[in-house]
C-alpha cells in the first residue's frame, strides 16, 4: 500500500522528480525554493546521482542543458529573479529541442520584490520568456500532491515532445505542508534518445545538439517544426480541473494558489445557493482553450482571479472569443496581498448580481 | 629501393576532409588540427564530446567528426560540466574564443576550473572578437585599435589585457594551465605537445586542464597572414608569455 506522508510542496516536487528518474540537479539558492536544492543535495548522492550548486542560475541552466544533451533526466529550480537569468539557457534548450525540468517557485516582483506568493511570472512562463519565439510546457500545481504528480508528468511530456518543461508554482504552494501519497513507480523507463550526444560510435554519423541553422530556409523550417509540435501539444496534452460546470451561471477560473482560495469561495457560493462552477487550468501551456470554449456554450460569464494585475485573463479571453463576458479580479503580489475566500466570494456575489 | 610510398603525414581521423570557412591565414584551422591530432593520439574519437561556443569557431561540428553540443555565448564550461557529470568516462572539451571565455563567460570558466571539472579547455586568444567584426576583447593589447577602441585600448579606461592562463593557474582545481602560440613551425609542434598533455590530464582523471593558444585574426587586425604571424612574436608573446604555469602531479 502506498504511504501517506506529510511534506512541504517544495519537498514533494523534489520527490516527484526523483520518482521520475531524475538523477541530476543543478541549482543556486533563492528563497522561497531553497528546500528543493537542499533536498536534492541530501538525497541525490544516496541514489548515485549528482547535485551541483552552481555559481549562478545561468551556469545551472547550462549544466542542465549539457546533462540533457547526453540524454539524462535532469532539472534545475529557482524563483522569479533566478528564472529571469535562466531565460537565455531556456531559449537555447528550446531551440536545441532538449527536454528538462525547470521549477519556478514564484515570488513577488518586479526586481528584487519580496518572497510573497505571486502569479506575475505567468507571461514570462507561457509566452516564451527568452528570445526567439518558443514555448515551454508549463504546468501549475495547486497542492502538495500535484507538486509531486506534475513533476512526474512534466518529465514524461518533456521527453516525449523534446520541449523543456516548467512547473510554475508559488511560495505558498512551495512552503505549505499537506498530505502526499507518492506513486511508487518501481522502474522508470526512459524513451529512446537516439539524438543524445554520448560519443560517436565508430563508423556512425556524428550527433549534434544545436540551435544554429544558417542554410537558406533551414531556420524557418526548424521553427515550423517546433510550432507544429506546440500545436500537437495543444491538441493532446491540455489539462484542467472542472467543478460544477453543468449548471453554472458563472465560471470562476484561477490557477495555482489562487485556485485553492477560489475553491473555498466556490464552496461558500454553493452553500449560499449560487450556481457557480470552477474551471482550473492545470497546464498553462498548452492552455485548455477547448475546455473554455466548451464551457461557454452554456455559461456566459467568467470571472478570472489572479495574483497579478491580469495575465492569464488574456488567454481566457482569447479562448472564449466573444461567446462570454470575461471579468477579472486580481491583486499585484506583495506582503498581505493574498486574497481571502471572503474577498473572492464578494466578487462572486457581484457578478451573480447579488448584493453582498 | 622500394617504390612503395609510406605516408609520413596524413589528415587526422577526427577531422572531416572538408574546406573550412575560416579567413585566409586564420589559425583556428591549425588549432582544430592540433586538437584532432590529440584525439587521434589517444584513440578517443569515439568517446569524445565537443562543446562548441559562439564566435568564429561555432561550426566545430562541421569540421570535427565527433558528437558536439553547442552552448550559449560564454557558457561552454557550464554545458561541459553537465556533459562530464552525466558521462564521466567520456573525453569532453570546450573550444572558446577570448570574447567568449574572458568576457561574457568569465564566471563560468573560473568556477568550472575551481570545481576541478575533469575537462580540457582550448582557449583561442586572438586579442579581438573575430566573428562580430573586430571589437575590443579583454585580451586586446594596450594601444591596440579595434572597432570599439578606435583610439587604441587605454588601460586606464578599459583595463589591462587579461592573462587567463596565469589567472586560472592560481586555482586549486586547475591541474594544468599553459600558453602556447601557433606562429611558427616550432611553436606549432610545441602547441601540439601541450594540447596532448592537456587531454592526458583529463584522460588520467587528474582534473581541469587549460590551454591558451595565441592565434591570428588577419581580417580584423587588418594585416596579411604573414604580418599577422609576425605580430604574434613581436607584440603578443611579450604581453602573454608562453609557458606552462601549472602542472599537477603526473599520473602514477
Ligand atoms: C549573449 C550574446 N552576446 C553577444 C553575442 C554576439 N557574439 C557572437 S560571437 C562574439 C564574439 C566572439 O569573439 P571570440 O570569442 O573572441 O571568438 P572569435 O570570433 O574571435 O573566434 C559575440 C560578441 C552572442 N552570440 N550572444
Ligand atoms: S574573423 Fe578572424 S578569427 Fe574569424 S575566421 Fe576570420 S581571421 Fe579567423
Q: What's the pLDDT tens digit per position in B211-221?
A: 999 999 999 99
Q: What's the pLDDT tens digit per position in B100-132?
A: 999 999 999 999 999 999 999 999 999 999 999
Are A32 and A105 in contact, with CB atoms under 8 Å apart? yes
Mean pLDDT of A92-110: 98
As a 3-state breakdown, chain B gives helix, strand, coil percent values, each rounded to 5, of 40, 20, 40
Say how many CB pairs under 8 Å bridge A and B.
135
Residue in chain B closest to A199 (alpha carbons) equals B47
Q: What's the pLDDT tens digit per position in A192-222?
A: 999 999 999 988 999 999 999 999 999 999 9
**Mean pLDDT score across all residues of chain A:** 96
Question: What count of other Cβ atoms lies within 10 Å of the Cβ of residue B145?
Answer: 16
Helix (H, G, I), strand (E, B) or coil at B94: strand
Whether omega for the bond prior to residue A32 falls within 30 degrees of 0, making it cis, is: yes
Determine whether the shortest distance from the Cβ of B50 to ligand 2 is under 6 A: no
Residue with the bigger pLDDT between A354 and B196: it is B196
* pLDDT for the residue numbered B251: 42
Q: What's the pLDDT tens digit per position in A62-99?
A: 999 999 999 999 999 999 999 999 999 999 999 999 99
Distance in angstroms (rounded) separating the CA atoms of residues A68 and B85: 11
Inter-chain residue contact A206 with B81, CB threshold 8 Å: no
Closest CA to B11 of B68, B63, B66, B67: B63
3-state secondary structure A81-126: HHHHHHHHHHHHHHHCCCCCEEEEEECECCCCCECCCCCCCHHHHH
Which ligand 2 atom is nearest residue B56's CA?
Answer: 4
- Centre of ligand 1 from the C-alpha of residue B107, in Å: 16
Q: At B120, phi and psi to the nearest 5?
A: -115, 125
User: With contacts defined as CB-CB under 8 Å, which chain A residues touch B75?
Assistant: 58-59, 62, 65, 88-89
* pLDDT for the residue numbered B252: 36
Whether omega for the bond prior to residue A110 falls within 30 degrees of 0, making it cis, is: yes
Mean pLDDT is lowest, of A180-184, A274-278, B158-162, for A180-184
∠ CA B30-B118-A86, nearest 5°, is: 90
Q: Is A38 exposed, middle or buried (0-12, 13-18, 19+ CB in 10 A)?
A: middle
Whether residue A275 is predicted with pLDDT greater than 60 in this model: the reply is yes
- What ligand is nearest to the CA atom of residue A88? 1
Are B167 and B9 in contact, with CB atoms under 8 Å apart? no
* pLDDT for the residue numbered A187: 74
Q: Which three cell numbers stand for residue B56?
A: 568564429
Are B164 and B77 in contact, with CB atoms under 8 Å apart? no
Distance in angstroms (rounded) separating the CA atoms of residues A145 and A181: 7
- Centre of ligand 1 from the C-alpha of residue B211, in Å: 19
Within chain B, which residues score under 50 in pLDDT? 250-252
For the four alpha carbons of B138, B144, B150 and B151, in that order, the dihedral sign comes to positive
Are B173 and B180 in contact, with CB atoms under 8 Å apart? no
Q: Please report how many Cα atoms fall inside a 13 Å half-sphere around the Cα of residue B218, on the Cβ side.
A: 16
Residue with the bigger pLDDT between A271 and B250: it is A271
Are B171 and B177 in contact, with CB atoms under 8 Å apart? no
Whether residue A166 is predicted with pLDDT greater than 50 in this model: the reply is yes
Distance in angstroms (rounded) separating the CA atoms of residues B29 and B22: 7
Question: Looking at chain A from residue 197 to 216, which residues have their Cβ under 8 Å from any Cβ of chain B?
Answer: 197-202, 206-212
Mean pLDDT of A35-59: 98
Determine whether the shortest distance from the Cβ of B23 to ligand 2 is under 6 A: yes
Amino acid at each position: 500500500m502506498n504511504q501517506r506522508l506529510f511534506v512541504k510542496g517544495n519537498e514533494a516536487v523534489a520527490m516527484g522528480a526523483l520518482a521520475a528518474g531524475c538523477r541530476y540537479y543543478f541549482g543556486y539558492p533563492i528563497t522561497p525554493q531553497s528546500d528543493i536544492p537542499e533536498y536534492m543535495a541530501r538525497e541525490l548522492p544516496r541514489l548515485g546521482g549528482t547535485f551541483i550548486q552552481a555559481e549562478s542560475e545561468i551556469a545551472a541552466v547550462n549544466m542542465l542543458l549539457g546533462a540533457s544533451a547526453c540524454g539524462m533526466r535532469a532539472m534545475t529550480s529557482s524563483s522569479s529573479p533566478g528564472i529571469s537569468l535562466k531565460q537565455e539557457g531556456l531559449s537555447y534548450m528550446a531551440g536545441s529541442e532538449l527536454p528538462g525540468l525547470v521549477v519556478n517557485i514564484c515570488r513577488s516582483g518586479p526586481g528584487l520584490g519580496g518572497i510573497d506568493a505571486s502569479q506575475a511570472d505567468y507571461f514570462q512562463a507561457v509566452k516564451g520568456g527568452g528570445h526567439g519565439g518558443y514555448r515551454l510546457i508549463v504546468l501549475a500545481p495547486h497542492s502538495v500532491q500535484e507538486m509531486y504528480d506534475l513533476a512526474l508528468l512534466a518529465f514524461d511530456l518533456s521527453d516525449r515532445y523534446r520541449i523543456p518543461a516548467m512547473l510554475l508554482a508559488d511560495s505558498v504552494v512551495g512552503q505549505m505542508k499537506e498530505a502526499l501519497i507518492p506513486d511508487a513507480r518501481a522502474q522508470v523507463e526512459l524513451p529512446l534518445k537516439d539524438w543524445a550526444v554520448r560519443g560517436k560510435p565508430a563508423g556512425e554519423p556524428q550527433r549534434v545538439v544545436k540551435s544554429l541553422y544558417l542554410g537558406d530556409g533551414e531556420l524557418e523550417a526548424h521553427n515550423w517544426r517546433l510550432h507544429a509540435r506546440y500545436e500537437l501539444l495543444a491538441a493532446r496534452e491540455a489539462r484542467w480541473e472542472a467543478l460544477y460546470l453543468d449548471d453554472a451561471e458563472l465560471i470562476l477560473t484561477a490557477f495555482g494558489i489562487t485556485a485553492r482560495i477560489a475553491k473555498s469561495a466556490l464552496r461558500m457560493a454553493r452553500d449560499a445557493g449560487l450556481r457557480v462552477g470552477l474551471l482550473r487550468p492545470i497546464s498553462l501551456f498548452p492552455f485548455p482553450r477547448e475546455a473554455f470554449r466548451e464551457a461557454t456554450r452554456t455559461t456566459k460569464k467568467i470571472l478570472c482571479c489572479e495574483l497579478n494585475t491580469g495575465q492569464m485573463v488574456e488567454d481566457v479571453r482569447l479562448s472564449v472569443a466573444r461567446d462570454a463576458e470575461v471579468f477579472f479580479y486580481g491583486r499585484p503580489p506583495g506582503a498581505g496581498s493574498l486574497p481571502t475566500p471572503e474577498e473572492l466570494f464578494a466578487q462572486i456575489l457581484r457578478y451573480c448580481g447579488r448584493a453582498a | 629501393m622500394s617504390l612503395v610510398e609510406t605516408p609520413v603525414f596524413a589528415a587526422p581521423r577526427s577531422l572531416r576532409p572538408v574546406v573550412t570557412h575560416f579567413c585566409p591565414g586564420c589559425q583556428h584551422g591549425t588549432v582544430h588540427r592540433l586538437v584532432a591530432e590529440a584525439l587521434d593520439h589517444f584513440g578517443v574519437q569515439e568517446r569524445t564530446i565537443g562543446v562548441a561556443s559562439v564566435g568564429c569557431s561555432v561550426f566545430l561540428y562541421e569540421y570535427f567528426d565527433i558528437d558536439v553540443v553547442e552552448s550559449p555565448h560564454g557558457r561552454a564550461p557550464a554545458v561541459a560540466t553537465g556533459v562530464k557529470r552525466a558521462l564521466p568516462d567520456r573525453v569532453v572539451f570546450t573550444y572558446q574564443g577570448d570574447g567568449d571565455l574572458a568576457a561574457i563567460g568569465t564566471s563560468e570558466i573560473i568556477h568550472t576550473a575551481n570545481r576541478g571539472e575533469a575537462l580540457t579547455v582550448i582557449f583561442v586568444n586572438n586579442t579581438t572578437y573575430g566573428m562580430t567584426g573586430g571589437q575590443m576583447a579583454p585580451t586586446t593589447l594596450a594601444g591596440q585599435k579595434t572597432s570599439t577602441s578606435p583610439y587604441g585600448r587605454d588601460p586606464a579606461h578599459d583595463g589591462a589585457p587579461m592573462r587567463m592562463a596565469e589567472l586560472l593557474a592560481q586555482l586549486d582545481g586547475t591541474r594544468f594551465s599553459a600558453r602556447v602560440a601557433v606562429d611558427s613551425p616550432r611553436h606549432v609542434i610545441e602547441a601540439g605537445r601541450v594540447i596532448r598533455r592537456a587531454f592526458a590530464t583529463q584522460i588520467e582523471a587528474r582534473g581541469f586542464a587549460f590551454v591558451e593558444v595565441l592565434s591570428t585574426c588577419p581580417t580584423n587586425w587588418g594585416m596579411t597572414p604573414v604580418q599577422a604571424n609576425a605580430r604574434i612574436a613581436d607584440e603578443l608573446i611579450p604581453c602573454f608569455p608562453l609557458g606552462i604555469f601549472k602542472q599537477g602531479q603526473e599520473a602514477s
